[in-house]
Amino acid sequence: MANTFKTGLLLVLLSALFLMIGRALGGQIGLVVAFIFAIVMNFGSYWFSDKVVLRMYKATEVGSGHPLYEMTVRLARQANLPLPRVYVIPTDSPNAFATGRNPKHAAVAATEGIIRLLDERELEGVIAHELAHIKHRDILISSVAATVAAAIMMLANMAQWAAIFGGFGGRDRNDSNPIGLLIVAIVAPMAAMMIQMAISRSREFAADRAAAEIIGTPYGLADALKKIDVTIRRVPLDANPATAHMFIMKPFSGRGVSSLFSTHPATDQRIKKLLGQG
């Protein structure tokens, strides 16, 4: 229920932000276009955000006979969950995420890199973690936040170019000013990062604990987190920043401004909590 409320509030706030960006980009006409776009975005993000994210990473669905699928079948049964669709992402970077609007319409995706890196016990911990997100219904708000944050970043880029070239053409051109567009270009990406921060980092701790309960031990996931943390520094994922909060671990190095808006708790902190040491 709490995540349903958060999702609704998130969509209201983002709709307001879209209206502001539309007004800055194109005056009254831009405001109307943004209003229509916000309605379409709200509808689409609820029903299709999972498909958008999976397509973004060129994920391929796998079925019976694939080791990842068979593992997910077993763990979903242990977690008392409907079987999610299972996908593999073609990249060497080790990571995984879950998406979908509810447990009956969920998907789990893991990279080729994480499948090669981890042994069976460790990979079970990772998949159990993603199933825990499904069980806690984290996946809707994560998927919605990813799609709308990506849209905000796209509009911010448009605002930046509009500011450079003096706004867009048309009757309402005088309604948009370069200063306002520059402000939008700066504020909008920051708002997108704040959306990710709104996806409470405490949910990672909760999913870690639930994963340990599903498989009966915390050590597989703890060892997996150690391996992923080391390897991902050498082989970061070329990920859209708008989707960073969805992965089991932040997909790129947290240097510069992005480190101030970290979407995940520190790995050593997660491991300590998982093992009951902190």
Residues identified as active-site? 130
The percent of residues above 70 in pLDDT, for the chain, comes to 66
pLDDT given for residue 257 in this prediction: 46
The interaxial angle of helices 267-274 and 202-215, nearest 10 deg, is: 40
Query: Distance of CA 146 to CAs 179, 258, 273, Å?
Result: 28, 16, 27
The full length of the chain comes to 278
* pLDDT for residue 246 is more than 50: yes
Residues whose CB falls within 8 Å of the CB of residue 217, separated by 6 or more in sequence, listed in order:
none
pLDDT given for residue 59 in this prediction: 97
Q: Could you read off the pLDDT of 216-226 as tens digits, one per residue?
A: 999 999 999 99
Q: What's the Rg (C-alpha) of the chain?
A: 20
Q: Could you read off the pLDDT of 175-189 as tens digits, one per residue?
A: 555 666 666 667 766
Confidence at 173, pLDDT banded by 50, 70, 90: very low
Q: What is the DSSP letter of 218?
A: S
pLDDT given for residue 241 in this prediction: 77
Phi/psi for 247 (5° steps) reads -80, 160
Which token pair is 27? 């005056």
Residues whose CB falls within 8 Å of the CB of residue 73, separated by 6 or more in sequence, listed in order:
83
Residues whose CB falls within 8 Å of the CB of residue 245, separated by 6 or more in sequence, listed in order:
142, 145, 146, 196, 199, 263, 264
pLDDT given for residue 78 in this prediction: 97
Taking the C-alpha atoms of residue 9 and residue 12, their distance in angstroms, rounded to an integer, is 5
Distance of CA 41 to the CA centre of its chain: 16
| DSSP H/E element including 23 | helix 2-56
Question: In whole numbers, what is the pLDDT of the chain averaged over residues?
Answer: 81
Q: What is the dihedral of CA 270, 274, 275, 278, to 10 degrees?
A: 60
57, 109 in Cβ contact below 8 A?
yes
Query: pTM score, two decimals?
Result: 0.77
Sign of CA dihedral 76, 58, 248, 18: negative
Most confident of 16-20, 38-42, 145-149, 267-271: 267-271
